[in-house]
Structure 1
């Protein structure tokens, strides 16, 4: 969906670092739009809604996003880049040397609360907006779903967080306290349960692609239940998303696994039948270096590109030279090497160089295996703006293979039948059949491996390992199970406030 930006004099209040994420336009003070005069037309209301979506897609000006953080935290990737200090937040995340003042915590916290404040403000205004009742209901449902997305990330990353559902009086902003995680999860369940009936099953991709649908909210609710080990409720929501016959189109929403796995990474294949929710990117935002995070381009496309890439032979891939981040470990390559998803997932620069097809410069901790799914291509570079910041590949927040495997997870751990012919068996093996693999039994080890291979490089692995309690595979990176299952709350949020640091990081919460 096309992004728009609105300037409102008193639009949001910030918890500490939130202010760093606001976007400004140069305006004459006499032309400023006050909130008291806004939300009077459908266009104005929709602009307010778009501002929440803008937070959903927000990337850090230091050239990373949530996917990059989760990748380098996992056992499948090295941070890479030009050296041990290049994009330092990713380097300290990789080695688990982060603390309350160093690492990506500030970005994750700021992004979440920026979105929450915008959603809260929008919900306080849309109720009385003089627009069609049906549209009002849908807009509110989108805002509640987005608020749930922000809270879902925050509670998983930080555990003990403030639960804010309305604007905060500026005089009381430092008096905000944290809620119990159970209270945050209960609010997400409430928001999503209220939102689902008002959301459309499908949207026209050409005009509304990227907007929240019923399936996106149901999938998110399933994830919220799964993280709380409410396996039966999670399976119920995922079944609504996945449809009655695994591997076949779901008649309720049109979702279906793509026949060709590689087509998922075709930048022109936005809003395909496997896409449940995408973060929309564009080549036309004209993002520049003065505020790279404000760009609507996909920053993963440039940071994952091989450093100094030079094609030698005509059949060399047309990679756009990038910064060499998120390289795969040699151990991961050994696991995926003979899987059909290898080529669409891994760019084997080592092989290209050895065979004289192309050359490149080594990244830090170079393995020669880069993240093919997101490398920018010469044929896809933008016609205008700063090339590196404006590639237009969307990012899947949720896709169908993910929800298929999560339903398997819920069924398996909830004690449902998982033998040959069962629903869990059909779901797991529909994902495998799509890439030509034979069926396997539904076991935890097989599920763990399938999610690792199917979703490689998409930011799921670390969260999966934490949820499953399988973090021992991260020990070689310095992962400490006594503290690294949560992030440290940024120090700026602790200074002169009632927010307390998590006990894992030396606090009392």
Structure 2
């Protein structure tokens, strides 16, 4: 079963408030099984599985929506991209992230609410699973998966918004007004607790029929990453070493760097040896504008948004073998700073398309995006052969990486303080894969390598904030130190709660 690509059920919880939970009159619609009250659900393994599918579902929002997609939002907020699009008002949630005019009234509220809906679904499962009559080993795995998912959701929430409620059980409407925010340290402690409890009950390997579910290795990698963000560097290095194994060799969890960097961006290489946790997207849901984001949003929408506007190859471009990219919407314009940083790097060709150069040579035509630089991001670029669905804009089957091995190599090297033989070997392995020579390991060298290796994959903004570089690197966009290290909590979330807004918003 592909939990993200092919839902076996549609679960509509109908939460009255993002932080709230189902009352007894809230309904669960279960495909093929009628409509039942939530209180009467989770009667058997089939229904527990449906709840598990629902808990996974919000992971797909990473690239499966528009201005509310964390991939697009975080890229826009980084120094590597401008939001782009047709004009300064196109997908305004991305524009305010890009120019740091983001506020409680203009941040896309669904970024927050999608994560908390995921948390809510996990909380329901954690509460209901113990009473479900089913195989004990399978029940333990389901519980481990929803705890890992809850950790995953909270990790993004606390990194983006910092001061957030820590909700571990479904809330009634009467309890919502008493919601308070937790200290970030307490949120990190809960994330670490969930992951440590989950790891032993997750499978070491995932069969192809279950691709997209959490494995033991993925949960360990996530835990290592969490420890690093929580400034527990020794613990982070220890966990990441389990996943990484000997640099450049196959690890005990079956992970190994792909031989060629370009192979990572061949859409056919899904769930490859470098992929630790990957989101699967589908072209089978046939989502359209009438049902988008109501349970049919299974495709990679970001791929459409990131395509060049009015892109077309001339006869010369066809002869030259230029990619047959779709006609896209022109978002995620690459900054000249990133293009210059990658200009002599072997990874440039798989990361950036130099549209201005090709246009000047008469090989393509395209329409400028807002803040056009001539450089466009292509790791997840769709081509016309990818169009399989009735409405291609919402249904591209292009997967995205959340954690891959090069990421964990560099995270471990950082956790080791950027010194020592192992940190050097981890950095060397990433560089050697693309034919680059060894450079002396240091934190600066690791940070630089992360930018070039992981460009556009949603890590850069987090990296800048974590390492204290955000104020200097993002000053040209209007970043304010002491404020923009966290995003504002949407105004809509303050109704009937005791929450307080983040500083300076």
TM-score band by shorter chain is over 0.9
Match of 1:474 in 2: 474
CA offsets 1:97-153 (integer angstroms, 9 cap, x no match): 01001023x122101100000000011111111111000000000000000011111
**Alpha-carbon separation, structure 2, partners of 1:130 and 1:203:** 24
Residues 444 and 332 (structure 1 numbering): CA distance in 2 closer, same or farther, change over 3 Å?
same
Cα offset for 1:91?
0.5
Structure 1 partner of 2:303:
301
Q: Partner of 2:455 in structure 1?
A: 456
Maintained 8 Å contact 2:19/2:171: no
Q: Determine the C-alpha separation between the residues in 1 that align with 2:29 and 2:215.
A: 31
Deviation of the 1:7 alpha carbon: 4.2
Partner of 1:89: 93
In 2, the alpha carbon distance for the partners of 1:215 and 1:11 equals 34
Of 137, 140, 143, the residue aligned with 2:140 is 137
Alignment of 1:90-169 (within 5 A): 90-104=94-108, 106-169=109-172
Secondary structure at 2:88 match in 1: coil
Contact 1:307 1:321 in 2 (8 A): yes
Partner of 1:278, secondary structure, is strand
**How does the TM-score come out when normalised to structure 1?**
0.92
| Greater Cα offset, 490-499 or 365-374 | 490-499
Tell me, what secondary structure is at the counterpart of 1:139?
A: helix
Structure-2 separation of matches of 1:393 and 1:309: 19
Q: Give 3-state SS (helix, strand or coil) of 2:504's partner.
A: helix
Q: CA deviation at 1:504?
A: 3.5
Match of 1:75 among 76, 79, 85: 79
Where 2:328 maps in the other structure, the secondary structure is: coil
CA gap 1:18/1:448 in 2 versus in 1, 3 angstroms: farther
The secondary structure found in structure 2 opposite 1:153 is helix
Unpaired runs of at least 5, structure 2: none
Residue 340 of structure 1 is aligned with which of 343, 346, 356? 346
| Match of residue 387, structure 1, among 375, 386, 392 | 392
Which of 360, 367, 370 aligns to 2:366? It is 360
Q: Which of 221, 224, 227 is matched with 1:225 structurally? A: 227
Which residue pairs with 1:199 in the alignment?
202
> C-alpha offsets along residues 438-473 of structure 1, whole Å, 9 cap, x if unaligned?
111111221111000000011111100000001111
What is the 5 A alignment of 1:315-330?
A: 315-330=321-336
SS of 1:39's partner is coil
* Counterpart-to-counterpart distance in 2, 1:444 and 1:360: 40
Aligned-residue CA RMSD (Å): 2.1
The change in CA–CA distance for 1:164 and 1:54 in structure 2 (over 3 A counts) is: same
User: Deviation of residue 490 (structure 1)?
Assistant: 1.0
Shift of 1:304: 0.7
Corresponding residue for residue 494 of structure 2? 494
Q: Secondary structure at the match of 1:327?
A: strand
